[in-house]
Chains A and B, each alone.
Chain A
Amino acid sequence: MAGREILLISLIITMFLAPCVKATSIMGLLENSDAFDGKIVTVRGEVIGVLVKGDHAWVNILENGYAIGVWCTAEDAEKISVVGDYTHIGDTIEVTGVFHRACPDHGGDLDIHAETLTLISPGHEIPRSLSPFLTALGLILLVTGILVTVFVRVKKREPFHPLGY
């Protein structure tokens, strides 16, 4: 009897949660956009862009090489402090919201309208340093190139031209 009750409760819970799907990846959303259309999804990704438009904002998130736009309130977007670029890894956020394969409010864009936006981990700077070996090689090659240019012009008695003509 207890087994049947548990089964019944599970069925009821499943029915209520039917439109709410946990997506594991942005790639999964892109490849199965019909299946996820209009459902509540949860995705995680690195912030690669924030475009504020009045009291709302577009937050573009990236995960495993695939990106998607999230439409959220400007207030939610303010939680983001680091946007990913060459010198930064952006904040990682988790978004729960309604997925649209062709959003009727945004000219058919594939997007998520966020209901909640949570900061999972803050972004950080990527240390970039000048390679002494590559710098030395670059300078040597450039100086050699210039010397060879001068040598060829003198040897072949070609008129000097700023661009080698």
Chain B
Amino acid sequence: MIPKLGREDFEIIGYNLGKIFNFLAILFSIPVVVALIYGEIDTIPYFLITSGVTLILGNVLIFYTCTKKPMELKHAICLVALTWVLASVLASTPLWLANATSSYLDANFESLSGFTGTGLTVAVDIDHMAHSVNFHRHLLQFVGDGIGIIVVSLTILGRTEISSVLAFRGEAREEGIRPSVVRTSRTIFGIAITFLLIGAIMFAIAGLHEGLDLRSSIFDGFCHSMTGYATGGFSTRSQNLLYYHGLWYELVGMVLAIIGALNFNLHYVVLRGKRREILDNIETRTFFFTLLLASTLISFCLLSSNVYSSTEAVFRKGVFQLVSAHTTTGFATVPSPQLALMWPALPIIIISIAMLVGGCANSTSGGVKALRVGILIKAFFLEVKRALLPRSAVVRGRFHHVEDSPLTDTVIKGAAMIATGYLLLFTLGTLITMGYGYDTEASMFETSSALCNVGLSSGITSPSMPTGLKITYMLLMWMGRLEVITVLVLLAALALGIWRGKEWREEKSS
């Protein structure tokens, strides 16, 4: 029987939510420093208001729900699902006050796209946006998707081990790198900061090489490093990476996106000297195999259809968009209208599939994840083998993911469940988009992009898109980030709560 949520449960959720709000209040005040550096004093109140409101809400929640009871899995799942929605609503305030979007709904779309690491944008004039507001957008991606808001606020800043473990699972990061989850989170934080700094320096150097001035190369480099590692894809420019017209800038973006899409576990193991793990791991094998296969297919399609005539062009346009899609980053070097109108259908479909596969589990990327795809492929071949051998033969599968593990039915069922969830949402999203009059390939592309938190666009996402579609994509981004199941559990708990409440009222009246 599904346990119902009572007053005590709401207290536990509310109390932890309050703690997270307090962390967010500090996060929302960081862009004030950028505003001071760039002399954008007029933008400071936007962040003061947001921080103040978040701090008040957080402490009011703590005051009314103060409890010392430990968190259970059901609380963690509801907490994670709620945090993403409420944090996005709060984070949308500076965007709305700065007129960075054309409506309040758009501001919410933008902040949810930021927190979930999607990168689809409805901002109206990015090229004239204040540095502080732009920094706020990029910071949301780095914290939301790069390291995980809840993991940061509950573990790095000192919450109990048990609540951290549960929140960790809710945030779709099931495996621990180190025995203690607090240590694991600190390792994730350390890895993220290291790559952030390396990426920022590399981007800044590439920017200078492409002819950008020092001030802009530092700011753009830092922002792109945040969103590149977080596989987010927001850019400080409306043209995204096409603004720089440079191979080196694009190469840094690609490398950082691939690093961000690899499992944190792998980073840790490789950093500890086990370099062979990259070759042995089922996840990296699947990821690099699908990446290579899709790159070859896309290059062949684009060359044979004469969209691009040189190898360099195919690499910088075709392979770049593919890497960006597969790692679920969303950096672009082709304008959306050109992608939708000039590219043939096949590369668009290949990119849509690459987005669905996504990067590695326990990384900053979205999608079904290479580990699950690898497990399902292995299970498929195992079934074929079973069918060919005599019934008395015992066939056991194994896979290597940091350590050797048996390929059990539970493992296969878990992977299949998530994959099915994504496919169902993908179908539903595509049908809804097509219902608004968009063609099939563009609808598939945009739905994959929203659901798998990618950010590449075929031109559908814009401030003028229908409101119903904006809401659909917001739901897809939210469900995709939390790997479907977390959101379904929250919805089931809420539905059950309402139903039981109705039952109780009926009983009382009779």
A residues whose Cβ falls under 8 Å from a Cβ of B: 27, 30-31, 33-34, 48-53, 57-58, 60, 62, 65-67, 69, 84-87, 89, 101-102, 104, 106-111, 126, 128-131, 134-135, 137-146, 148-149, 151-152, 155-156, 158, 161, 163-165
Q: How far is the CA of A111 from the CA of B333 in the complex (A)?
A: 12
Verify B313–A131 contact, CB threshold 8 A.
no
Least CB separation from B98: chain A residue: A86
How far, in angstroms, from A53 to B244 measured CA to CA in the complex?
11
Q: What's the minimum C-beta distance from B20 to chain A, rounded to whole angstroms?
A: 10
**Residue ID in chain B nearest A30 by CB atoms:** B337
**Given A67-B239, A104-B310, A148-B55, is A109 in contact with B125 using a C-beta cutoff of 8 Å?**
no
Contact of B49 with A by CB under 8 A: yes
Q: Which of B23, B60, B307 contacts A164 (CB 8 A)?
A: B23
B110 to chain A minimum Cβ distance, whole angstroms, is 15
Most B CB contacts (10 A, CB to CB) among A60, A66, A155, A156 go to A60
Known contacts A139-B48, A156-B66, then 16 further A-B pairs from the complex at CB < 8 Å, ordered by chain A residue: A30-B335, A31-B337, A49-B237, A67-B238, A69-B245, A85-B127, A104-B309, A108-B313, A111-B245, A130-B41, A130-B44, A134-B97, A138-B46, A148-B63, A152-B63, A165-B22
Task: Closest A residue to B39 by CB, please name it.
Answer: A87
Check A52 against B211 for contact (C-beta < 8 Å): yes
Checking A58, A135, A158 against B245 with a beta-carbon cut-off of 8 angstroms, the contacting residue is A58
The 7 closest A-B pairs by CB, nearest first: A141-B52, A108-B313, A138-B48, A145-B55, A51-B211, A164-B22, A134-B45
Inter-chain contact total with CB atoms closer than 8 Å: 178
> Of all chain A residues, which has the CB nearest B55?
A145
CA distance A11 to B307 in the complex (A): 33
20 A-B pairs within 8 Å (CB atoms) are namely: A51-B210, A58-B245, A65-B125, A86-B128, A89-B128, A108-B314, A109-B245, A111-B245, A126-B128, A131-B42, A131-B45, A138-B46, A141-B56, A145-B53, A145-B55, A148-B60, A149-B22, A152-B59, A156-B62, A163-B26
Interface: B317 (CB within 8 A): yes
Interface 1/0 per residue, B38-75 and A, CB below 8 Å: 10111011111101111110111011001000000000
Q: How far is the CB of A85 from chain B (nearest CB, A)?
A: 7
Is residue B212 within 8 Å, beta carbon to beta carbon, of the partner chain?
Answer: yes
Partner of B342, one of A52, A101, A129, A130: A101
**Could you say which residues of chain A place their CB within 8 Å of the CB of B242?**
69, 109-110
- For B156, the closest partner residue in chain A by CB is A163
| B341 & A48 in contact (Cβ 8 Å cutoff) | no
Q: Bound complex: CA of A58 vs CA of B485, how far in Å?
A: 47
Contact string against A for B residues 96-135, beta-carbon threshold 8 Å, 1 for contact and 0 otherwise:
0100000000000000000000000000110111110000
Q: Do A62 and B127 have beta carbons less than 8 Å apart?
A: yes
Which residues does chain B contribute within 8 Å of A110, judged by CB atoms?
242, 334-335, 338
Q: How far is the CA of A19 from the CA of B7 in the complex (A)?
A: 74
Q: Is the CB of B245 within 8 A of A142?
A: no
> Are A102 and B158 in contact, with the CB atoms below 8 A?
no
A67 and B245 contacting across the interface, CB-CB below 8 Å: no
Partner of B23, one of A48, A139, A145, A163: A163
Contact A48 B48 (CB under 8 A): no
Cβ-defined contact, A142 with B55, below 8 A: yes
**Is the Cβ of B53 less than 8 Å from the Cβ of A141?**
yes
Residues of A within 8 A of B310 (CB): 104, 107-108
A27 in contact with B337 (CB, 8 Å)? yes
Known A51-B211, A58-B245, A108-B316: A145·B51 in contact at CB below 8 Å: yes
Chain A residues with CB below 8 A from B45, complex form = 130-131, 134-135, 137-138
Chain A interface mostly helix, strand, loop or mixed? mixed
Q: How many residues of B contact A (CB 8 A)?
A: 66
CB-defined contacts of B167 to chain A, threshold 8 Å: none
Q: Tell me the smallest distance from the CB of A43 to a CB of chain B, in Å.
A: 14
In angstroms, Cα B165 to Cα A99, docked, is 56
Q: From A157, which residue of chain B is reached at the shortest CB distance?
A: B66
CB distance A146 to B158 under 8 Å?
no
Closest CB in chain A relative to B154 CB, distance in Å: 10
Is B247's CB within 8 Å of the partner chain A? Answer: yes
In the bound complex, CA of A58 to CA of B243 (Å): 9
Residue in contact with B58 in the complex, picked from A69, A156, A164, CB distance below 8 Å: A164
Q: How distant is B69 from chain A, measured CB to nearest CB, in Å?
A: 14
Inter-subunit contact B245/A149 (CB<8 Å): no
Q: Check if B55 sits within 8 Å of A58, measured CB to CB.
A: no
Interface string of B309-343 (1 = CB under 8 A from A): 11011111100000000000000011101100110
CB within 8 Å for A134 and B22 given contacts A102-B309, A128-B40, A163-B157: no
Say yes or no: is B183 at the interface (Cβ < 8 Å to chain A).
no
User: Does B25 sit at the interface, judged by CB under 8 A?
Assistant: yes
Query: Given known contacts A60-B239, A101-B342, is B210 in contact with A149 (CB within 8 Å)?
Result: no
* B159, CB-defined interface residue at 8 Å: yes
In the assembled complex, the Cα of A66 lies from the Cα of B336 at a distance in Å of: 10
A144 to B424, CA, bound (A): 46
Closest to A62 in B: B127
- A78 CB → nearest B CB, Å: 14
Query: Is B195 in contact with chain A by the CB < 8 A criterion?
Result: no
Residue pair A149, B52 in contact (C-beta under 8 Å): no
Task: Say yes or no: A51-B244 contact (C-beta < 8 A), given A34-B342, A86-B40, A131-B45.
Answer: yes
Partner among A30, A102, A140 whose Cβ is within 8 Å of the Cβ of B317: A102
Bound-state CA distance A164–B24 (Å) is 11
Residue in chain B with minimal CB distance to A85: B128
Tell whether, in the assembled complex, residue A165 and residue B245 are in contact, meaning their CB atoms are under 8 Å apart: no
Q: Which residues of A contact B47 (CB under 8 A)?
A: 138
